[in-house]
Amino acid sequence: MTVPRSTFRLQLHKDFTFDDAAAQVDYLAALGISHAYASPITTATSGSTHGYDTVDYTHVNPELGGEDALRRFVEKLRAHDMGLIVDVVPNHMGVGGSENTWWLDILEWGRHAAHARFFDVDWHSPDPALRGKVLAPFLGAAYGEELHGGKIKLAFLADEGRFVIEYYAHTFPVCPVDYPSILQEAPELAQRFTGLTTQPTDQPRAADARAALVTLAATEGGKAAIAATLAAHGAGSPQGRERLHRLLERQHFRLAWWRTAADEVNWRRFFDVSTLGGVRVERPEVFEASHALIFRLFTEGLIDGVRIDHVDGLAEPREYCQRLRQRLEELSKERPEALQHGNGRTYFVVEKILARGEPLRGDWQVDGTTGYDFMNDVGALLHDPKGAEPLARAWAALSGRSADFADEALVARRKILAENLSAEHDRVARALHRIARDTPATRDFTFSSLRRVVGEIVVQFPVYRIYPVNSVRSAEDERYFSQALSGARAALPRADHVVLDQVAQWLGGKLPDEAPVAEKPRERAAERGRDRNQTAQPNTNAPASTGSQRRSAQTLFSQLTSPVAAKAVEDTACYRYGRLLSRNEVGADPGEFALSVEEFHKGNLERSKAFPHAMLATATHDHKRGEDVRARIAALSEIPDEWAATLHNWSTLNTSLRRPVDGDDANWAPGPGAEAMLYQTLVGCWPPGLSPDDEAGVKELAERVAQWQLKALREAKLRTSWFAPDEAYENACREFLFDIVAPQRRGGFLKELPAFAERIGRAGAVNSFQQTLLRLTAPGVPDLYQGTELWDFSLVDPDNRRPVDYEQRRAWLAEGEAKGPPSEQLSNWRDGRVKLALVRRALALRQHAASLFAQGEYLPLEVQGKHADRVIAFARHAGSAYAIVIATRLAEPLLAKHGDTPLVDADQWGDTAVILPDALGSRALFDWMSTGAPKADGQRLLVRDALAAMPVALLVEEGVR
């Protein structure tokens, strides 16, 4: 298996192409990277800045330079003995617009389209207006308004002989069956389409007829006839609008206002994004069609591994991963001989959010996750648990909201299910209702009761989803499902409990040859004499289709719990709850404030045994705050009372700048919670060295923060939202931000803000060094997100996808090599070069001692002495080789009050010592982070010696140096 030594994530788009990436390969090689790790390379919606809106799986994105440029990029990688991992998006495609031919096919031909089963469409909607149709919720206003306003138009594509409906950038093909009615004014053009049906056997005839129409429409008479036809369907007259409306009503799509999607969409979306349609990759023909390009590029040796996006969105993640693994192993034998490897396995990771204690399933045959679990672990490790309660109290007192994140999450789940994913909720309930109707014992379960019950289970669900095997929940699934079941039972009225129990069985409970739970005795007025404890008799009349119906219901249920979790927790509650924003991150639970050293070690040990090659990340294209923003905010956990007082003081200082909304002084912007979160954000992202006198620099920062603020306010969905923006409130919030950092505040808030950022800046830097070194040395494959080798004070996208200044990094890397180890640059830590040096040196050791980190065991090391709780240490061990990792943690109380360097004075450590493995007793060790060569006294290595020059150390023996 080609296991990457380290990866570097590149965000490709039209302004950073394969050729641009190729130009940085020598820099990545010098940094110590073994594999480039690219965002999706298949053709995406024009202008896409991320690539996750694929419109064509069969071609390399031309905006990135196409396949030729990809080959040039890979040739450059190979010249440096590097590989390429690509991001694959099997769950969804970009829909709407005019670029996705698979999607346009189903809009044109409906259920009989060649690609009708490629997308997850419910063709049997209970809404008569949607039966056999696809809801097209792409209108900016109500259908009638847009139709009357002439924004929905019939158009003719002369080079294709095709009639389409146009709405701004969207194109909706008209079914050729309707061409005769369209061409009433031109029977000579219509005749070739007469008698057409939507059956697949007729579709080639329609293609021939369109080809003929191209020729006929090019004549003078044809042009005139087409013009007359279009005019007859124009919105300029009541007759034209009516004719266009009747034409639209006959199509296989129903144009609708985008707001209707939450309640009426009849196809699976990516979360609640109506421009991304769910793909049925579980179908073999869809799997092959959507992966054909990736398989060919892999076979030809252009790519070496894959990262699978949003695996939980798939109908059957286990089966998908197993199928993909099998295909990759088969194809690996056909790769160029130089790229073939002993066991034929290919590096393959999945994007998966794991709750605390939730394992990645071993039978998926993947190499691990993309690293959110590690990011959560190391992020929590940076926090002082003593700060949890006082900061929660301060947040609740200041904001008026709950101190408990779980409360916010539950409210958000209910809101998302009711307002954003109501149509998906309905679809699950309908699937269960069909099962209920098939059995006499459950036929009286109403749709409403089933909807109510399954909705409560979804709201209470503690993880993204379950993974039943043969329609039965595993023991691991049961662990989480039972939590949801208990929560639902407590929330639902007793009358619903019998329905709840039956739904629990349908959703993966074991079904022996006994009656459903619903047939257990109930009180019935008509059976007053019946024994209430009598056991129901087995049901032998269950229909043969029950198994497939259960599987369908389970799939729909799992494809609902996942987006509810993501939208409610990550995209709502995390923008409402502000105890410390450093814990409000993708893959994290803000209710879990801190992680102990012992728990961190436990996570690494489990990962090293089960998935030793999983990715380790601390920043991604989806993070809400850059890794160094989070590290600095985490330092507030060490001074909770001081931070609470600072928040109060700043709020008082800026009271006069608050904006009343709608003339109501009590309804002011931004509001207490949003104001407190704004201050945290400003403290976290204030660039080191930015002077309040730098008006241009402060304004640039304010613009970035304003972009974050707008997104945060809308995602919170409290006083404004994407669905119903309150622009007056949003503008007032923006004005407040720009007022508090205006040049005239240099003697007030604008003086205090950078001073406080400086106050915690050194503790934040120590946290950054700690999480960086742990990522580079823990079991797994360290991933660097583009640009984060210097300080990463970015905010949520698109801020975290800004262009990277590679020339600066390249120059500083070269300079740093001449200056020696990172400790030589610690005094100038604010410019970030010390972090770059740390990354380079750690990656150099991984390259030098590859087997030590790839296969070496993980050994937690005991720390003793006065400040044992402020150190984390472990060893990597393979054969006779060792690497010792030591890092300062929770350093704020130990840092000199008036010092300028993020380093604990040696004499502060006292007798604190790391207990080394027996084999290293009394041996001299060499530090890759400094010029130090500390020697243990027996097995005791004093921290004051190991961390004399840097807050972290990476120690090896002479032979490994």
Please report the sign of the dihedral spanned by the C-alpha atoms of residue 175, residue 181, residue 187, residue 191.
positive
Q: Give me the CATH number covering residue 727.
A: 1.10.10.470
- Residue of 596, 571, 566, 573 whose CA lies nearest to 377: 596
User: CB 240: neighbour CB atoms within 10 A?
Assistant: 17
Query: Which residues, in sequence order, are CB contacts of 642 under 8 Å at separation 6+?
Result: none
What local confidence, expressed as pLDDT, does residue 341 receive? 61
Query: Which residues, in sequence order, are CB contacts of 470 under 8 Å at separation 6+?
Result: none
Task: Indicate whether 287 and 307 sit together in one domain.
Answer: yes
- Which residue has tokens 């969409």? 265
- Residue of 282, 302, 360, 298 whose CA lies nearest to 330: 298
What local confidence, expressed as pLDDT, does residue 44 receive? 98
Backbone angles phi, psi at 490, to 5 degrees: -70, -30
Q: Per the domain annotation, does 106 fall within a domain? A: yes
Residue 527 has pLDDT above 70, yes or no: no
For the chain, give the percent of residues with pLDDT over 70: 95
Is residue 98 packed enough to be buried (19+ CB in 10 Å), middle (13-18) or exposed (0-12)? middle
Task: Indicate whether 78 and 122 sit together in one domain.
Answer: no
Is residue 856 packed enough to be buried (19+ CB in 10 Å), middle (13-18) or exposed (0-12)? buried
Amino acid identity, residue 516? P
Q: Per the domain annotation, does 534 fall within a domain? A: no
Asked if residue 167 lies in contact with residue 146, where contact means CB atoms within 8 angstroms, the answer is yes
pLDDT digits (tens, 9 = 90+) for 389-407: 999 999 999 999 999 999 9
Per DSSP bridges, beta strands 253-257 and 134-139 are parallel
Q: Per the domain annotation, does 246 fall within a domain? A: yes
What local confidence, expressed as pLDDT, does residue 545 receive? 59
233-241 mean pLDDT: 94
CA distance 38 to 84: 7
Both tokens of 20, joined, read 């641009």
Q: Give me the CATH number covering residue 143.
A: 3.30.1590.10
Both tokens of 246, joined, read 């009747």
Residue 230 has pLDDT above 90, yes or no: yes
- Which residue has tokens 């927790």? 569
Residue 258 domain boundaries: 101-270
Name the DSSP letter for residue 32. T
Task: Indicate whether 439 and 566 sit together in one domain.
Answer: yes
Q: Per the domain annotation, does 575 fall within a domain? A: no
Last residue of a domain, one of 370, 393, 425: 370
If pLDDT is split at 50, 70 and 90, which confidence band does 820 have?
A: confident
If pLDDT is split at 50, 70 and 90, which confidence band does 672 have?
A: very high
What local confidence, expressed as pLDDT, does residue 497 receive? 98
If pLDDT is split at 50, 70 and 90, which confidence band does 956 have?
A: very high
776-798 mean pLDDT: 97
Task: Indicate whether 153 and 225 sit together in one domain.
Answer: yes
Cα–chain-centroid distance for residue 269?
15
Q: What is the dihedral of CA 565, 567, 573, 578, to 10 degrees?
A: 110
Amino acid identity, residue 242? E
Which residue(s) pair with 881 in the sheet?
878
Asked if residue 299 lies in contact with residue 344, where contact means CB atoms within 8 angstroms, the answer is no
Asked if residue 22 lies in contact with residue 34, where contact means CB atoms within 8 angstroms, the answer is no
Q: Give me the CATH number covering residue 916.
A: 2.60.40
Last residue of a domain, one of 235, 270, 305: 270
Q: Per the domain annotation, does 782 fall within a domain? A: no
User: CB 479: neighbour CB atoms within 10 A?
Assistant: 15
pLDDT digits (tens, 9 = 90+) for 699-744: 999 999 999 999 999 999 999 999 999 999 999 999 999 999 999 9
Backbone angles phi, psi at 844, to 5 degrees: -65, -40
- Residue of 188, 208, 206 whose CA lies nearest to 197: 206
Q: Per the domain annotation, does 397 fall within a domain? A: no
Is residue 424 packed enough to be buried (19+ CB in 10 Å), middle (13-18) or exposed (0-12)? buried
> Alpha helix locations (H) across 574-626?
597-610
Task: Indicate whether 174 and 289 sit together in one domain.
Answer: no
Residue 523 has pLDDT above 70, yes or no: no
Asked if residue 5 lies in contact with residue 34, where contact means CB atoms within 8 angstroms, the answer is yes
CA distance 141 to 846: 56
Please report how many Cα atoms fall inside a 13 Å half-sphere around the Cα of residue 409, on the Cβ side. 21
Judged by average pLDDT, the poorest of 188-202, 505-519, 685-699, 801-815 is 505-519
Please report the sign of the dihedral spanned by the C-alpha atoms of residue 669, residue 672, residue 676, residue 679.
positive
268-274 mean pLDDT: 96
Judged by average pLDDT, the poorest of 41-45, 527-531, 647-651 is 527-531
If pLDDT is split at 50, 70 and 90, which confidence band does 783 have?
A: very high
Number of domains in the chain: 5
Asked if residue 613 lies in contact with residue 445, where contact means CB atoms within 8 angstroms, the answer is no
SS3 content of the chain, % helix, strand, coil (to 5): 50, 15, 35
For the chain, give the percent of residues with pLDDT over 90: 90
555-563 mean pLDDT: 97
Task: Indicate whether 468 and 359 sit together in one domain.
Answer: no
Kindly report whether the peptide bond that precedes residue 798 is cis, defined as omega within 30 degrees of 0: yes
Task: Indicate whether 262 and 288 sit together in one domain.
Answer: no
Residue 838 has pLDDT above 90, yes or no: yes
Name the DSSP letter for residue 114. T
pLDDT digits (tens, 9 = 90+) for 682-700: 999 999 989 999 999 999 9
Asked if residue 571 lies in contact with residue 715, where contact means CB atoms within 8 angstroms, the answer is yes
If pLDDT is split at 50, 70 and 90, which confidence band does 344 have?
A: low
CA distance 635 to 381: 11
Asked if residue 22 lies in contact with residue 862, where contact means CB atoms within 8 angstroms, the answer is no
What local confidence, expressed as pLDDT, does residue 961 receive? 59
What local confidence, expressed as pLDDT, does residue 521 receive? 37
If pLDDT is split at 50, 70 and 90, which confidence band does 666 have?
A: confident
Judged by average pLDDT, the poorest of 537-546, 670-679, 734-743, 919-928 is 537-546
Task: Indicate whether 687 and 660 sit together in one domain.
Answer: yes
Q: Per the domain annotation, does 649 fall within a domain? A: yes
Both tokens of 748, joined, read 């007030």
Q: pLDDT higher for 879 or 519?
A: 879
Residues in the chain: 961
Asked if residue 949 lies in contact with residue 932, where contact means CB atoms within 8 angstroms, the answer is yes
Residue 534 has pLDDT above 70, yes or no: no
* Angle of helix 640-653 versus helix 388-399 axis, rounded to 10: 20
Name the DSSP letter for residue 714. H
Task: Indicate whether 252 and 119 sit together in one domain.
Answer: yes
Q: Give me the CATH number covering residue 44.
A: 3.20.20.80
Residue 546 has pLDDT above 90, yes or no: no
> Alpha helix locations (H) across 16-119?
18-22, 25-31, 66-79, 101-109
Task: Indicate whether 242 and 300 sit together in one domain.
Answer: no
Residue 342 has pLDDT above 60, yes or no: no
Asked if residue 637 lies in contact with residue 387, where contact means CB atoms within 8 angstroms, the answer is yes
Q: Give the chain's mean pLDDT.
A: 94
Both tokens of 934, joined, read 């500390």
What local confidence, expressed as pLDDT, does residue 443 receive? 96
Judged by average pLDDT, the poorest of 68-72, 337-341, 420-424, 659-663 is 337-341
What local confidence, expressed as pLDDT, does residue 896 receive? 86
- Residue of 459, 453, 456, 481 whose CA lies nearest to 412: 459
Both tokens of 382, joined, read 């940076």
Per DSSP bridges, beta strands 857-860 and 659-661 are unpaired
455-460 mean pLDDT: 98
Name the DSSP letter for residue 627. H
If pLDDT is split at 50, 70 and 90, which confidence band does 923 have?
A: confident
Task: Indicate whether 240 and 314 sit together in one domain.
Answer: no
Residue 525 has pLDDT above 60, yes or no: no
pLDDT digits (tens, 9 = 90+) for 880-892: 999 999 999 999 9
What's the Cα-to-Cα distance from 337 to each of 341, 342, 611, rounded to whole Å? Answer: 9, 11, 27
What's the Cα-to-Cα distance from 268 to each of 262, 277, 506, 519, 615, rounded to whole Å? Answer: 11, 6, 21, 34, 29
Angle subtended at Cα 555 by Cα 553 and Cα 557, rounded to the nearest 5 degrees = 70
Asked if residue 438 lies in contact with residue 542, where contact means CB atoms within 8 angstroms, the answer is yes
CA distance 745 to 349: 49
Asked if residue 568 lies in contact with residue 413, where contact means CB atoms within 8 angstroms, the answer is yes
Task: Indicate whether 111 and 239 sit together in one domain.
Answer: yes
User: CB 665: neighbour CB atoms within 10 A?
Assistant: 8
* Angle of helix 447-460 versus helix 546-565 axis, rounded to 10: 50
Residue 515 has pLDDT above 60, yes or no: no
If pLDDT is split at 50, 70 and 90, which confidence band does 872 have?
A: very high
221-242 mean pLDDT: 95
Q: Is 531 helix (H, G, I), strand (E, B) or coil?
A: coil
Q: Per the domain annotation, does 645 fall within a domain? A: yes
Last residue of a domain, one of 370, 386, 420: 370
Asked if residue 333 lies in contact with residue 299, where contact means CB atoms within 8 angstroms, the answer is no
Asked if residue 877 lies in contact with residue 859, where contact means CB atoms within 8 angstroms, the answer is yes
Asked if residue 631 lies in contact with residue 795, where contact means CB atoms within 8 angstroms, the answer is no
* Angle of helix 627-634 versus helix 672-685 axis, rounded to 10: 110
Asked if residue 944 lies in contact with residue 907, where contact means CB atoms within 8 angstroms, the answer is yes
What local confidence, expressed as pLDDT, does residue 2 receive? 77
Cα end-to-end distance, the chain, whole Å: 27
* Angle of helix 672-685 versus helix 727-740 axis, rounded to 10: 50
Query: Which residues, in sequence order, are CB contacts of 333 under 8 Å at separation 6+?
Result: 340, 344
If pLDDT is split at 50, 70 and 90, which confidence band does 511 have?
A: low
> Alpha helix locations (H) across 719-778?
727-740, 749-777
Both tokens of 511, joined, read 């079904």
- Residue of 799, 785, 622, 798 whose CA lies nearest to 49: 798
- Residue of 379, 412, 795 whose CA lies nearest to 569: 412
